[in-house]
Structure 1
């Protein structure tokens, strides 16, 4: 029997969404017509508070623990699988759950120790608005998961493992019969890349529209699991804090709203996207930690000079309490970041994903902090240095290297991956595309780069640089040039969890520098010098879980 024999006929899926998809969006959320809200209200069935949105959605919340126990859209139940409900983390214990109607809004409040969680419904909308306030680490609340019944939205996307029965790694990476790999980790997207996640059958869409992630950690380029689909059912996630491949400490406070949205098959309304969503209707609901728009400020920069216009630039704000970011305009570097909580932030300008400028900015409630043009010093961008040769671009990611695109949604063992071995010749024209994006001690350590030098170049010492974006098990590069061998560098600070095998190269960018003496070079200008790059580390296990690292760029300076 073929793998597709048991799939429902006519089902299709929306993987991830951005504002670009809004043009085809079916109205859902603040734009929905209230005329259909005749049944709006709530009731108590003894075990749950039952909310009728007055549109096509009825949902239930447990009075015992705050679980979302039912999501009925147009008469069909979508919630739950394996006897599990939708909830924070793996569910809360006995909680205090209350309900209140304020005009056209119903708010259900859940209190469990120091954790506060909220569900809100608006009259005439097929949406559930959620907020989560984690005050400290006494409660393990790192995600909200919407559990969806099996068979509702089956698909064969990278984050679906319904048809991938063979385990490749741990208990969460799988392989299909054709050698393609699947895992809930393989989302393809950075936080900055999506506004919503979910599925569509063509006539019904179910999505989670993400929040602004101001209390999350990891910044705009963080990668995490976003959804999954298996024979048991599906899950859509709002990640509040996820410890895997994490580069920042956990932030605490109110996160939200994020939205569970049903549509007639189209994308969620762009009015629900975090950049567009206004929630003045929630200002007086008494949500713990809620800060209205009037209590927030804005940062605006008139421009950024010293940019390499071949790359996108992002401006980030971060302090221990919150994080924000915005894209710089390609023409002049103008940027604006609204909705910022008052405080002093580190402002970082990223070329691609590489930090090339850092400063400080203070935000006040109700005000706009206007910044004069930011000048990026030439020395801050390693791509500006004069090089004899260079592999890759200094942009904070392994983009352009062999297998780089595939690795955001597949395991390194995937049948679609090109060979991880193979040497590189400078001047071939394929230096970057032939060089593997990742190096492992047990897979391709000792890869060789061949290059020639002129007599003048061979007569002088040079600096060789290797930029990395993350590392696993303290993997870091040690080099040899012909008969000369470098010392083993100390490992920089990197996340301690899996990364390279679960779709993420995002760690802490770091540049290793090696001072190669003139005596290392060959004096024959017609001969190729041999650079060997090894992965040094006594940690890790074997194969793709041996010590490894992700490459940003490699160059030999003039």
Structure 2
């Protein structure tokens, strides 16, 4: 059910002593003003609301701007670096901040223009539950960053740059002296791949458990920065709309909860994970835009026929207001996606990361929408087309191509990357592993693919397909054959306008380029190799790895 936005929480500020008593009398909503000298409770130190969870965690929230100004676990301060606090975006500025308590829950509410943000504490838990309700674009991005003091969780992971200050791109991609690269962008993970992100050291774990991302954008395969570590300190992120490499318009509304969780070194409890976490205790807190479990529905499918069992299948739901997803069972394709807001959705089935089927479903509160067995038409999966040869497979990602895995956690210039140049011979057995995952106008344009045709094949026209997963600066492939025939320059498909290939992401909009090649383009001598040349063309981009480029899904020549 929807909580009333007009709850008294958000209109009053409470302090210790007589002010707290007065606040209790004045607060008629679900959260009553309260304070405690010890154990679970909250107090007012003049500049901050101080919350003691009654476990091992005490935190403070600024009464001026809603920043998290202190995060003390077992007596150690974890919050802050560079004079900065933890907060929404880079800090909201002057805001209305209020607090209240209802039984075992304390809620701090922050209002900044049309944006509302919430911190909740539960008695006996070392967790902080956060919600953010962004109503419009008045705040430029949607993220929360937990800033962590330097020296507490040192590491040399791909998203760390603790041990280097030499930049190789912009001011956020770094190179170590051994040639390895580091950047906060190099998370390795898609949204679907993780429930929590953080660090563990010295018997303490500090984590952000992500929300279900129902108001985020980009779908289950979106990649974004998740954390960073440097000599100045570390950061943990919950990013809902970053404006980088986005494939969808921004969604507005209440997102959460996401959770700041402390542990004794282990992973946070799975009870906090999206899809598992239940928050019936928050149903009556007056959180703006909140919809409890009873106001949500579910979509369940009997199964998916026509699958390629070598790949995982994911079912996504999306409309302009919300997005959800769930895995299809490997044995039969059964799926269930719960916690869905009522409305009409596009249901999409993904083979790997490639959309191969879509339909429409309507979700009602408190009900399950049942979907009969979905049969993926063979024509929807490009892999079913009869090909003379194929490099890679059609799965919506460059997986298996040269350097593909490394590129989710390293810069293309990284010393660990195999040479981006080199030609490909069909029949060698290394066609896919020799073919670079990415092609750039200024790096490896002009890639050559050698192949033979039978006399019958050479006597006919054929279609060549190149599937891509994203592009930078309108980079797209133009092909030529044997130095005698050249294709026209294809129009660029819609792709994100920001960096992608150099900041750990190949995720954009999957697109297939098709080229009709006449029989006259082939060599008639069946003992000779035909030579396919693939160039990257664009009028945009700069130089090197920031020249126009594209990521490859598959390349094939149809029979």
How does 1:107-186 map onto structure 2 within 5 Å? 107-186=107-186
Q: CA deviation at 1:382?
A: 0.2
- What's the CA shift string for 1:81-118, capped at 9, x where partnerless? 00000000010111110000000000000000000000
Aligned to 1:14: none
Q: Does 1:503 find its partner at 2:495?
A: no
Aligned to 2:211: 211
Q: How far apart, CA to CA, are the structure 2 residues paired with 1:346 and 1:242?
A: 23
Q: CA deviation at 1:165?
A: 1.6
How does 1:362-401 map onto structure 2 within 5 Å? 362-401=362-401
How does 1:40-79 map onto structure 2 within 5 Å? 40-79=40-79
Q: CA deviation at 1:202?
A: 4.1
Q: How far apart, CA to CA, are the structure 2 residues paired with 1:437 and 1:519?
A: 30
Aligned to 1:430: 430
Aligned to 2:245: 245
Q: CA deviation at 1:140?
A: 2.3
- What's the CA shift string for 1:401-448, capped at 9, x where partnerless? 000000000000000000000000000000000000000000000000
Aligned to 2:222: 222
How does 1:451-462 map onto structure 2 within 5 Å? 451-462=451-462
Flag the 1:141–1:445 CA change in 2: closer, same or farther, 3 A: closer
Q: How far apart, CA to CA, are the structure 2 residues paired with 1:114 and 1:539?
A: 38
Q: How far apart, CA to CA, are the structure 2 residues paired with 1:510 and 1:140?
A: 29
Equivalent residues of 1:134, 1:141 under 8 A apart: no
- What's the CA shift string for 1:245-284, capped at 9, x where partnerless? 1000000000000000000000000000011100000000
Q: How far apart, CA to CA, are the structure 2 residues paired with 1:304 and 1:280?
A: 33
TM-score where L is the length of structure 1: 0.93
Q: CA deviation at 1:141?
A: 3.9
- What's the CA shift string for 1:308-359, capped at 9, x where partnerless? 1111000000000000000000111000000000000001000000000011
Q: CA deviation at 1:242?
A: 1.0
Equivalent residues of 2:452, 2:528 under 8 A apart: yes
- What's the CA shift string for 1:508-545, capped at 9, x where partnerless? 00000000000000000000000000001010000000
Unmatched segments (≥5 aa) in structure 1:
1-36
How does 1:139-538 map onto structure 2 within 5 Å? 139-482=139-482, 483-538=484-539
Q: How far apart, CA to CA, are the structure 1 residues paired with 2:308 and 2:228?
A: 38
* Secondary structure in structure 1 of the residue aligned to 2:407: helix
TM-score where L is the length of structure 2: 0.93
Equivalent residues of 2:446, 2:535 under 8 A apart: yes
Unmatched segments (≥5 aa) in structure 2:
1-36
* Secondary structure in structure 2 of the residue aligned to 1:240: strand
- What's the CA shift string for 1:211-242, capped at 9, x where partnerless? 00000000000000000000110000000211
Q: How far apart, CA to CA, are the structure 2 residues paired with 1:45 and 1:497?
A: 44
Flag the 1:239–1:379 CA change in 2: closer, same or farther, 3 A: same
Q: Larger deviation: 188-197 or 90-99?
A: 90-99
Q: How far apart, CA to CA, are the structure 1 residues paired with 2:117 and 2:498?
A: 29
Aligned to 1:24: none
Equivalent residues of 1:202, 1:266 under 8 A apart: no
Count of aligned pairs between the two proteins: 522
* Secondary structure in structure 1 of the residue aligned to 2:336: strand
Equivalent residues of 1:164, 1:181 under 8 A apart: no
Equivalent residues of 2:299, 2:368 under 8 A apart: yes
* Secondary structure in structure 2 of the residue aligned to 1:383: helix
* Secondary structure in structure 1 of the residue aligned to 2:241: coil
RMSD (Å) for aligned C-alpha atoms: 0.8
* Secondary structure in structure 1 of the residue aligned to 2:421: coil
Q: Does 1:551 find its partner at 2:552?
A: yes
Equivalent residues of 2:141, 2:243 under 8 A apart: no
